[in-house]
Structure 1
Amino acid sequence: MSAVAAAPPVIKVAALCGSLRKASYNHGLLRAAMEISKSINGLEIEYVDISPLPFLNTDLEVNGTYPPAVEAFRKKILAADSILFASPEYNYSVTGPLKNAIDWASRPPNVWDAKAAAIVSTGGSFGGGRSQYHLRQIGVYLNLHFINKPEFFLNAFQPPAKFDSDGNLIDEQAKEKLKEILLSLHAFTVVLQGKRE
């Protein structure tokens, strides 16, 4: 009688994009990641829209509750096992909308706490890399645990074309690297959850 291999645990990933533009290349990275995840056993990615969030203002916190859009966002982050950030680089750092979302979810109780995370980015020559390093610094305070390897920085403008006119990723080599990120995030999340148990 042959032993049946146990199915890998299902890891639920919340995917956030720092750009609000629907055809942004960073948004395209997340769409590609969601498509790739269908070929990875035990990985589910849900895109979480940060555009409805108001600017953080603690006056909006009433008796320990938050505005409905914030409450819904925080519940999605809390329910996720890990986080996938697509972080464009604005002025050498993370975007305002992404920082706003991070700050809302860090309000008590901090729903980022102890989760695994990964970052992908695309842009000019450095591919958004400076934003990634700032996001890692923010993650220290939030107690987010980022995978270290592999890293994903994609120069969107160096030939051949990496994206089509709708912002969809068409570069096969980049898709392979994106899959490596997802596999690493899945494995690291399983390890973290095992340690907690």
Structure 2
Amino acid sequence: MDVVAATKPIIRVAALCGSIRKGSFNRSLLRSAIKLCDESINGMQIEYIDIAPLPMLNTDLEVQGTYPPVVEAFREKIREADSVLFASPEYNYSVTAPLKNAIDWASRPPNVWADKAAAIVSAGGGFGGGRSQYHLRQIGVYLDLHFINKPEFFLNLFQPPSKFDSEGNLVDVATKEKLREILLSLYTFTLRLQGK
């Protein structure tokens, strides 16, 4: 089993879920990613960042270059991260309103997304959230976010057998391995961008 050596640099990953629903399968993917890191990927630390408390973007809330405390705290979490892991469900062929709102807040001057590595996972029907991923990649171009190209991760929730148990935990072994491959790719790409 490929395990990132403990002697390698530690990267900090900010994990954001586009769904703020408590039972979200996309959030379950992030929980699984955190567990995988704890179990088998040394050198990577993932922190889930809740975007639900963020107010809708309104520049009237910006006062002399400062933002509301909850926005400042969110922006600082992104600023401190080495890379970003998005779980992006698809709403109407695009990213969700909560995720776009979070992206826009962190892009306000100074843009705290710039020069970070990023990866996307998604769970949904049909294309498994793929259209949201492509829109997110387009947004990332303007923000100077650098997404890994491969592997890609689209999980069709309606294709049997179920990949999650009744508690919302990812239980499918093959899907866990695909998620692990995404994390390893993100780790390697982050270090490459940082020149390490």
TM over 0.5: yes
Tell me, yes or no, if the aligned pair for 1:27 and 1:167 is still in contact at 8 Å: no
**Per-residue displacement from partner, 1:11-51 (whole Å, max 9, x unpaired)?**
10000000001211000000000000111010000000000
Tell me, yes or no, if the aligned pair for 1:55 and 1:100 is still in contact at 8 Å: yes
Query: In structure 1, what is the Cα distance between the partners aligned to 2:46 and 2:105?
Result: 21
Please say which structure displays the higher CA radius of gyration: 1
Percent of pairs with identical residues: 77
Report the equivalent of 1:56: 57
Asked if 1:16 corresponds to 2:37, the answer is no
**Per-residue displacement from partner, 1:45-67 (whole Å, max 9, x unpaired)?**
00000000000000000010000
Report the equivalent of 1:158: 159
3-state SS of 1:21 partner = coil
The normalised TM-score by structure 1 is 0.95
Query: In structure 1, what is the Cα distance between the partners aligned to 2:145 and 2:178?
Result: 22
Report the equivalent of 2:48: 47
Tell me, yes or no, if the aligned pair for 1:117 and 1:145 is still in contact at 8 Å: yes
**Per-residue displacement from partner, 1:77-115 (whole Å, max 9, x unpaired)?**
000000000000000000000000000000000000000
3-state SS of 1:183 partner = helix
> What amino acid is aligned across from residue 76 of structure 1 in structure 2?
K
Of the structure 1 ranges 12-21 and 161-170, higher mean CA displacement relative to structure 2 is found in 161-170
> What amino acid is aligned across from residue 162 of structure 2 in structure 1?
A
> What amino acid is aligned across from residue 147 of structure 2 in structure 1?
F
Report the equivalent of 2:176: 175
Query: In structure 1, what is the Cα distance between the partners aligned to 2:6 and 2:184?
Result: 18
> What amino acid is aligned across from residue 74 of structure 2 in structure 1?
F
**What RMSD over aligned residues (CA atoms) do the two structures have, in Å?**
1.1
Asked if 1:88 corresponds to 2:89, the answer is yes
Aligned positions, number: 191
Asked if 1:65 corresponds to 2:66, the answer is yes
Query: In structure 1, what is the Cα distance between the partners aligned to 2:71 and 2:158?
Result: 35
Query: In structure 1, what is the Cα distance between the partners aligned to 2:19 and 2:73?
Result: 20
Segments of 5+ residues of structure 2 without an aligned counterpart are: none
**Per-residue displacement from partner, 1:123-150 (whole Å, max 9, x unpaired)?**
0011000000000000000000000000
Asked if 1:119 corresponds to 2:120, the answer is yes
Query: In structure 1, what is the Cα distance between the partners aligned to 2:36 and 2:6?
Result: 22
> What amino acid is aligned across from residue 17 of structure 2 in structure 1?
C
The normalised TM-score by structure 2 is 0.95
Query: In structure 2, what is the Cα distance between the partners aligned to 1:134 and 1:168?
Result: 27
Query: In structure 2, what is the Cα distance between the partners aligned to 1:86 and 1:137?
Result: 16
Segments of 5+ residues of structure 1 without an aligned counterpart are: none
Report the equivalent of 2:143: 142
